[in-house]
Amino acid sequence: MKLLSTNGFVVYAKKMNEADLLLSYITEDYGKITCFANNARKSKKRFLGKLEPAMLTNIKFYEKPGMTLDILYEVDLVEDYKNLRKDIDIYLFLTKLIEISRILCQERDNNKNIFYLIKNIFKSLDKLEIRSAGVNLSLSANAILLKYEIYFISNLLRFTGIYPNFSNCICCSGNNLHNDFDFSLKKGGVICKSCKEDRNNVPVYSEIKKLPVNFINLSNLMIESDLSIINKLNVREEILMDCSIFLRDFLSFHTGKRLKSFEIM
């Protein structure tokens, strides 16, 4: 067996037997990996207090040829984002990011962009005091988190290669010049009015949604900018909420899974 080391974030934890854990990490060097942690809930020296989702750790694990699971050997704390666990709204928001990352990222599909996207979001939110006077009071705490959510999901879709095509009709390739096409969840792209009204397309495009106002421009801006764009954007909360609902529906349809974290926010 080979002993490997990398930094990572916990995105899934499941109790196994009385003391063991099954853990999934988004790592810096190996993408998403799943590890078996023997006696993790009782081992104070190697694991205690270092297996929480809202922290960055350095993990050492054994890679065994022919095995689907790696063996977690030791965990060391790198960054403890304590403030993330002090605000219940922020912590619940992070459950969305963690669930989406776990579902969309494939095992051993190494993409450093995803790791750094999560790291930068965590770091930014750890410094954010959404209840303080330092934040633009014209925006509610929920609106601020919704901007982070749209930024995160848009970029994660881009890095995983499933960012939707908003530029051309998925059926006839017509140009969506004015961003007024509807969206086909089934095909993962926009559809023009003519194709939508074509009777031959009715069974195929049964899952068609209206895109939220300015969603395309907002999402495109998010993937072209760094996190500082969040502080510069002043978008009405109802528009942000519509964008969040659309992304939830797209992710649920694309993955075929009900996203539980969206239901508690």
One domain for residues 224 and 245: yes
17 lies in some domain: yes
The predicted structure's pLDDT at residue 203: 44
The answer as to whether 187 is a domain residue is no
Residues 67 and 96 in one domain: no
Q: Are residues 227 and 114 in the same domain?
A: yes
pLDDT value, residue 1? 85
DSSP 76: E
Structural domain count of the chain? 2
Predicted pLDDT at 132: 46
- pLDDT for res 202: 52
Quote the Cα angle for 4-59-72, to 5°: 75
Give the domain-ending residue among 22, 50, 80. Answer: 80
- Structural domain range at position 147: 84-163+212-264
Which pLDDT does position 78 carry in this prediction?
96
Asked if 91 and 139 sit in the same domain, the reply is yes
Same domain, 150 and 19: no
Q: Are residues 69 and 113 in the same domain?
A: no
Q: What share of the chain is helix, strand, coil (3-state, %, to 5)?
A: 40, 25, 40
Does 60 share its domain with 121? no
Q: What CATH number has the domain bearing residue 7? A: 2.40.50.140
Query: Do 64 and 95 belong to one domain?
Result: no
Dist. CA 111–CA 109, nearest whole Å: 6
Q: What is the pTM of this model?
A: 0.90
pLDDT of residue 79: 95
Residue among 72, 57, 76, 99 at smallest CA distance from 16: 72
pLDDT in tens, the chain (265 residues): 899 999 999 999 999 988 899 999 999 999 999 999 998 888 777 888 899 888 999 999 999 887 779 999 999 999 999 888 888 888 889 989 999 999 999 998 999 999 999 999 999 999 886 554 344 434 588 899 999 999 999 999 999 999 999 999 999 999 999 999 999 998 889 999 998 887 665 544 458 899 998 999 999 999 999 999 998 999 999 999 999 999 999 999 989 888 887 776 5
* 8 Å CB contact between 81 and 122: yes
Tokens of 20: 């063991």
Same domain, 139 and 241: yes
Q: Are strands 31-37 and 70-80 parallel, antiparallel or unpaired?
A: parallel
**Residue 153 sits in the same domain as residue 23:** no
- Residue 16 resides in a domain: yes
